[in-house]
Copies of this chain bind each other. A is one copy, B any other.
């Protein structure tokens, strides 16, 4: 068996995530997962836990636990949604905003440097990856998931 695409994707991403996590913990005192959650709330408007779970690609229980921790750390504000339902309204605290804005661009730049070094055309690879994600998303939805 050659190292096939699914394995390479798995391993590449595992290494990138691990590196991101190491850098963030060392330089900013926060895990990659928590940073992603804060970023998605702050910049993509993930305003409920359900939405945040979708953006992150994880399940609701995972998000539920994490929002609890982030709220306890004073980085995230979690309130019942005044519009009703059983939703939580998520928003960054000032401390959360400071944390996110002080970091945001760094990773993409570092990854872009790796991509440049490798000779892989960035725009094309990014577009292909986005397209695969969108297609996989659609197929899972159609399959009833």
Contact = CB atoms under 8 A, between A and B. Distances in A.
Interface of A: 1, 3-17, 19-20, 36, 39, 43-44, 56-58, 104, 107-108, 111-112, 114-115, 117-122, 124-126, 128-137, 139-140
A39 B8 contact: no
Contacts of A126: 4-5, 8
A107 B1 CA distance: 12
Contact of A139 (B4, B57, B114, B120): B114
Contacts of A117: 135, 139
The secondary structure that dominates the A interface is helix
A4 B136 contact: no
Given A3-B44, A44-B3, A108-B6, A11 B128 contact: no
Contacts of A139: 114, 117
